[in-house]
Structure 1
Amino acid sequence: MNAHMSPDEFRRHGHQVIDWIADYHERLESFPVLSQASPGNVRASLPADPPERGEGFESVLADLDRVIMPGITHWQHPSFFAFFPANASGPAILGDLLASGLGVQGMLWATSPAATELETHMLDWLATLLGLDPRFRSDSAGGGVIQHSASDAALVALVAALHRVSGGATETAGTAAGRFTVYTSEQTHSSVEKACRVAGVGSAALRKLRIDPATQAADAGHLADLLAADVAAGYTPALVVASVGATGTGALDPVGTLADLAHEHGAWLHVDAAWAGVAAVCDELRWINAGVEKADSYCTNPHKWLLTNFDCNAFWVADRAALIGALSILPEYLRNEATESGEVFDYRDWQVPLGRRFRALKLWTVLRWYGARGLRDHIRGHVALAQEFAGWVAADGRFELLAPHPLALVTFALRAGDAATRSALHAVNASGDAYLTHTLVNGRLAIRMAIGSVLTERRHVEAAWHAIQAQA
């Protein structure tokens, strides 16, 4: 039986792991972007039963190449243009390693003060970098916290909204305390509907707003009509979710107008800026924050486009009282002097789970390594590439741009129709040279070109475009 790994063994194998990761990043371009595995391939390469005796770590690394790598879609590949980026930079990987080495469970301030206070400070730093309203800072009535993802942010925003609109009744009576409704655009991520299911109000409570065909943004007039009709029918509007950079097309909702309508009926306004929000580190792109100062909560994902590996969703509230009121349960075994003093944040009260990782450490390493200037250069480079790509699409008469593209997502299609667009997309993805995904824009099949990988250069974007052209 293998004993616990000694510090010397850990040091030796740790060096091997770091070398493997560094080598992987160096050879990323040699892999097909999209995994070529068929269902069941990976499991067929694994033993049916777990080992009776421990094995050497060398055999684990050998099987990493033999078993795991064929089943990997390479999200860090410079020709990965699918979904949205999932940045994993060197400083973030090392920060995550440090967090794993410390093994902190930061549910309470008392369980590791540094984990809580660094997180609070990093969310304040990030609020400054993004130019967010001072209401979201920890020295106000609000504050920030790291959630797993924007899906978690949507759920806790809904739970806080239900707490506030019911006067706290939902904590005891559940959703039976009222007939609640939730509103969001047709373009908004599916996480809002899932939040409705998890929170207990159900999918039937969700109202999907029409969109403007030209901008793909939510129709504020439709929200006004739905709110009035629901109130007249005896429903209680609880939450309105506005998107800044919707998943399908990158659409930007009229946040300020939606917020005014939500607040007129006592509803909570949450802004989902999961992908696009981090672009506000650039002064010239800070216009995407228009109306955010009226929001009750706001989230964006450093783990998408700000060089911080998954998972790291930055979530802020303008008034933390409703969030804590909805989620705080204090059993005797968690009581401690610091919590009782009311002078500290216990982030277990800001999320659904009790336990939490030291995720602020990787955000800290990223912000310190790159600095504000490095973050801006990262975003600006991708936005410039996307604008150049959009120019190539517009100049080729076989293709058509289908939605605005002010950031780093370009949505386009072949004029020949959906079948031609689908065929071109499948052929490019099957080649392994690039990976793109699709959406629907006004009922038409469209290709999404999402530029954001840490390693992406102009030559990768140009190569992808030539591959697409070759299939037209």
Structure 2
Amino acid sequence: MPKLDPSSDEFRAAGHRLVDWIADYLDGVDRYEVLSRVKPGDIESRFAAAPGAKGKPYDALIAEFESKIVPGVTHWNHPAFFAYFSITGSQAGILAELLTAALNANGMLWKTSPSLTELEIVTLRWLRESLGLPNGLFGIINDTASINSFLALAAARDALGLDIRARGMTGRDLPPLKVYCSEHAHSSIEKGALALGFGADDVVQIPSDDAYRMKADALESAIARDRAAGALPCAVVATLGTTSTASVDPLPAIGAIARRQNLWVHVDAAYAGSATIEPSFRWLWKGIEHADSIVVNPHKWLFTPIDCSVLYTRKPAVLRNAFSLTETPAYLTMTDTAEINYMDYGLQLGRRFRALKLWMVMEHYGTERLCAVIRDHVGYAQQLAGELSKREDIELLAPQSFSVVVFRRIIRRDREVDEEGSERTTTELLERMNGSGRIFVSHTRLRGRFGIRVAIGNGATEWKHVARVLEFL
């Protein structure tokens, strides 16, 4: 029988060609339109109904990739991609992904790939120290903050001592379990809670102040109200760097309330947490001693290709109790209890070698270079906010925070803001910007006001790219 890959010669030639293509792409990504112009179904229609029986050479597949797939790509690696928290890659991360695919290791157990497990331990210790997080945290890498927040809420539920692991949540006389978060918390908090059996009504959104930060007094009132109604408060989520405005919830006050009320504190620092590799931003961690779990996404602002999200917890035994198998199958049983088997700390059995790309990014660039780029991004956001604030027809909808700026164009009639007209002209501005191909921004709505959101985070971004925002005004 023939081997699947009879020779490495074609592979070697294709690999060289692809590395050249990637290098050229990264060097010239600015020549592409940031946002793809294809319509739904356009890309699908370019492909045959079924794959060929005989197969194709790599050269033909690379040509099809360029002609059929690239036209439908929105270029997240573009230096003028400002629409979302930038999932920006890097040369080091790309090379690591190549090695990850080559090794094809599964890190479910220590023995299935010791290097995978132990490099994850080492890299997460480095990351914790580089970000200025406290000692004594257990870390694990998963795909996204959505999964890590789900795991944290599962641990919070387990910590209540209701024996949910053995007895479940149905057919029992349980009180409603409550999770508290800001009205500006990420949607994954509600999704995770729903998947864990919390009702949508049990995810309590706490109002925010004028800077879009959770009101601690409103949190305390909500907890008291729920207890009086017979509910059982379970967890509170503090967001350090909200999606719309990068606002920072008051963790010291939230944490103090949670400690008095015996609630699990989950800190969502998926975006802004990476900024603390720069020491001047470590004020973000004020009150972090209250946190039971913390999520940070290196794929958001540490130039590590998606996906790479880190969950830290000071209570790994609780996390393990929530997810380790009640009766481990014989083929997964380990005899050395000193080994860390990451399958016991989450849903996944199969685990990619995600630590390799984070290790390579940190080692290749070094903390000084990473700090410098993050400082530049924050500086660009400050400069953009300053330029926008000089204009009478522009209103900043939130204080500039980290690398996020939110604004709208306003129309006044008799010195009063015409809200309907302002939304219409801001929408037109957004469509013109994104339709140009030169820039991609997103939108949000704050206190009912429609605004344009600029989030800077690409490793190749310079001020000239950010200044394109001003060219459309």
Pair in the same fold by TM > 0.5: yes
Conservation of the 8 A alpha-carbon contact between 2:33 and 2:437: yes
Conservation of the 8 A alpha-carbon contact between 1:79 and 1:464: no
Q: Which residue of 2 aligns with 1:109?
A: 110
Is the partner of 1:41 in helix, strand or coil?
A: coil
> For this pair of structures, how many residues does the alignment match?
458
Conservation of the 8 A alpha-carbon contact between 2:274 and 2:296: yes
Q: What is the letter of the counterpart of residue 425 of structure 1?
A: L
Please state how far the C-alpha of 1:282 moved relative to its aligned partner.
Answer: 0.9
Task: Please list, as runs of the form range in 1=range in 2, the aligned pairs for 1:320-399 lying within 5 A after superposition.
Answer: 320-329=316-325, 330-336=327-333, 339-399=334-394
Conservation of the 8 A alpha-carbon contact between 1:2 and 1:55: no
Is the partner of 1:144 in helix, strand or coil?
A: strand
> Which runs of 5 or more residues in structure 1 are unaligned?
137-142
Is the partner of 1:24 in helix, strand or coil?
A: helix
Q: Which residue of 2 aligns with 1:170?
A: 164
Please state how far the C-alpha of 1:21 moved relative to its aligned partner.
Answer: 1.1
Change in 2 beyond 3 A, CA 1:334/1:184 = farther
Using the size of structure 2 for normalisation, the TM-score is 0.94
Is the partner of 1:65 in helix, strand or coil?
A: helix
The structure with the largest helix share of the pair is 1
Q: Which residue of 1 aligns with 2:452?
A: 447
Conservation of the 8 A alpha-carbon contact between 2:293 and 2:313: yes
CA distance in 2, matches of 1:303, 1:383: 17
Is the partner of 1:341 in helix, strand or coil?
A: coil
CA distance in 1, matches of 2:150, 2:343: 15
Please state how far the C-alpha of 1:403 moved relative to its aligned partner.
Answer: 1.0
CA distance in 1, matches of 2:51, 2:267: 45
Deviates more, 1:325-334 or 1:114-123: 325-334
Say whether residues 1:131 and 2:132 are aligned partners.
yes
Deviates more, 1:71-80 or 1:14-23: 14-23
Which of 424, 427, 443 is equivalent to 1:438?
Answer: 443
Q: Which residue of 2 aligns with 1:263?
A: 259
CA distance in 2, matches of 1:59, 1:237: 58
Q: Which residue of 2 aligns with 1:73?
A: 74
Which of 294, 311, 315 is equivalent to 1:315?
Answer: 311
Change in 2 beyond 3 A, CA 1:436/1:2 = farther
Which portions of structure 1, spanning 4 or more consecutive aligned residues, are displaced by more than 4 angstroms? none
Once the two structures are superposed, residues 32-84 of structure 1 have per-residue CA deviations (whole angstroms, 9 ceiling, x without a partner) of: 10000001000110111221111111111111111101110000001101111
Say whether residues 1:460 and 2:465 are aligned partners.
yes
> Which runs of 5 or more residues in structure 2 are unaligned?
412-421
Conservation of the 8 A alpha-carbon contact between 1:2 and 1:54: no
Using the size of structure 1 for normalisation, the TM-score is 0.95
Task: Please list, as runs of the form range in 1=range in 2, the aligned pairs for 1:293-304 lying within 5 A after superposition.
Answer: 293-304=289-300
Change in 2 beyond 3 A, CA 1:3/1:26 = farther
> Percent of aligned pairs with the same residue?
38
Q: Which residue of 2 aligns with 1:4?
A: 4
Please state how far the C-alpha of 1:458 moved relative to its aligned partner.
Answer: 1.0
Which of 256, 268, 272 is equivalent to 1:272?
Answer: 268
Change in 2 beyond 3 A, CA 1:2/1:222 = farther
Q: Which residue of 2 aligns with 1:156?
A: 151
Conservation of the 8 A alpha-carbon contact between 2:156 and 2:234: yes
Conservation of the 8 A alpha-carbon contact between 2:247 and 2:401: no
CA distance in 1, matches of 2:211, 2:266: 20
Q: Which residue of 1 aligns with 2:227?
A: 231
Please state how far the C-alpha of 1:2 moved relative to its aligned partner.
Answer: 8.6
Say whether residues 1:216 and 2:212 are aligned partners.
yes
User: RMSD value over aligned CA atoms?
Assistant: 1.4
CA distance in 2, matches of 1:342, 1:256: 37
Q: Which residue of 2 aligns with 1:96?
A: 97
Q: What is the letter of the counterpart of residue 42 of structure 1?
A: I
CA distance in 1, matches of 2:460, 2:82: 12
